[in-house]
Amino acid sequence: MRTSCVDGGLICLMAGVLIGCTTVPETGRRQINFIPQGEEMQLGLTSFEKMKQAVSISKDPAANALVQKIGKRVATVAPLPNAQWEFVVFESKEANAFCLPGGKVGVYTGLLPITRDEAGLATVLGHEIGHAVAHHGAERMSEALVLQTGGSLLDASLSKSDPRTHGAMVTAYGLAAEVGRELPHSRKQESEADHLGLIYLARAGYQPEAAVAFWERFAEYNRQQGGGEGLWFLRAHPLDDVRIKQLKEWLPEAQREYRPWSPGMN
């Protein structure tokens, strides 16, 4: 029996998804990841170098020293072989931080007043390090490839249908892919980074309750800025209340991971 191009493409897509499955450390979640680690790290390095050229780097020696100190401390307990850890403070009023593949972490100066202390900053850095350990960047790229292939297969299968039906179906697929898969998956990744960050926070000698305190401060900051929760299903991050609730549920696990820190500890 002859197999159509669409059927063949679907078989290849399913096989690729199965072959590309890996496991996230600590949480055990299965994920799709087709991107070789070396390629992922190179993408992170290239993007970070561009970021450092485009955005002013803070000249505050105290802020830089603190982020370097805590970042390296938390990274020490995170299982990411061959990581090229780099922690940079960028001048920006935005209360944010980010992590690029391979261990490139940026913190905006606007976030530092909210972190308030070492444990608060360790919470943020643990979260960002969690993204790197879980290879969330590579996973998002892999998911995009799967969705793009699915859209192409749908487009090919509808090529002989009424143009209006064809257009409506392709548009509906794009919307369903974004709202039904990409955004929820982004929220799942953010929650997973919270979970991993909480574990690394505790392993690095910080009381895990500090993570709850930081996110409560951040939620209050959001309220003061007038940032409403909006439509939850269109948000890439978990709702603040949901995030705090989850962290509290993970506290017993993190408390078991806690160990006092001493200089030179690995």
Q: Which of 77, 48, 64 is nearest to 197 (CA)?
A: 77
Which residue in 95, 108, 104 sits closest to 75, CA to CA? Answer: 104
pLDDT tens per residue, range 154-203: 445 445 555 554 444 444 434 443 433 344 458 888 999 999 999 999 99
| Domain-located, residue 263 | no
User: Would 157 be classed as within a structural domain?
Assistant: no
What is the CA 39 to chain-centroid distance, rounded? 18
Residue 50 vs residues 71, 108, 139, 201: alpha-carbon distances, Å:
21, 16, 22, 29
Q: Is residue 35 part of a domain?
A: yes
User: Is 204 a member of any domain?
Assistant: yes
Q: Which of 40, 86, 128, 190 is catalytic?
A: 128
Question: Catalytic: 128?
Answer: yes
- Please give the Cα distance from 261 to 199 (Å, whole number): 14
- Burial code of 114-139, b = ≥16 C-beta within 10 A, e = fewer? bbeeebbbbbbbbbbbbbbbbbbbbb
Beta strands in 189-233 (DSSP E): none
DSSP 225: T
Number of structural domains the chain divides into:
1
Contact 201, 125 (CB under 8 A): no
Tell me if 2 is assigned to some domain: no
Residue 266 lies in a domain: no
Where do we find the tokens 């859209």?
A: 151
CA pair distance 142, 148, nearest whole angstrom = 10
Q: How many alpha carbons lie under 13 Å from residue 259 in its C-beta half-sphere?
A: 11
What does the alpha-carbon distance between residue 107 and residue 67 come to, in Å, rounded to a whole number? Answer: 8
200, 261 Cβ separation under 8 angstroms: no
Residue 215: strand, helix, or coil: helix
Q: Is the pLDDT assigned to residue 120 strictly greater than 60?
A: yes
In this structure, is residue 77 part of a structural domain?
yes
Of 44-53, 145-154, 219-228, which range is least confident? 145-154
In sequence order, which residues have a C-beta less than 8 Å from that of residue 95 and are 6 or more positions away? 108, 110, 111, 114, 218, 221
Q: 8 pLDDT exceeds 70?
A: no
Q: Residue 227's pLDDT is what?
A: 59
d(CA 202, CA 119): 10
Would you state the pLDDT for residue 16? 46
Boundaries of domain holding 243: 23-144+183-257
Shortest CA distance to 26 belongs to which of 210, 206, 202, 214? 202
Q: Using N-to-C axis directions, what is the helix angle for 209-224 and 183-203, rounded to 10°? A: 130
Q: Model-level pTM greater than 0.85?
A: no
- What's the pLDDT at 225? 86
- In-domain check, residue 214: yes
pLDDT for position 144: 74
Tell me: the pLDDT tens digits for 68-90? 999 999 999 999 988 999 999 99
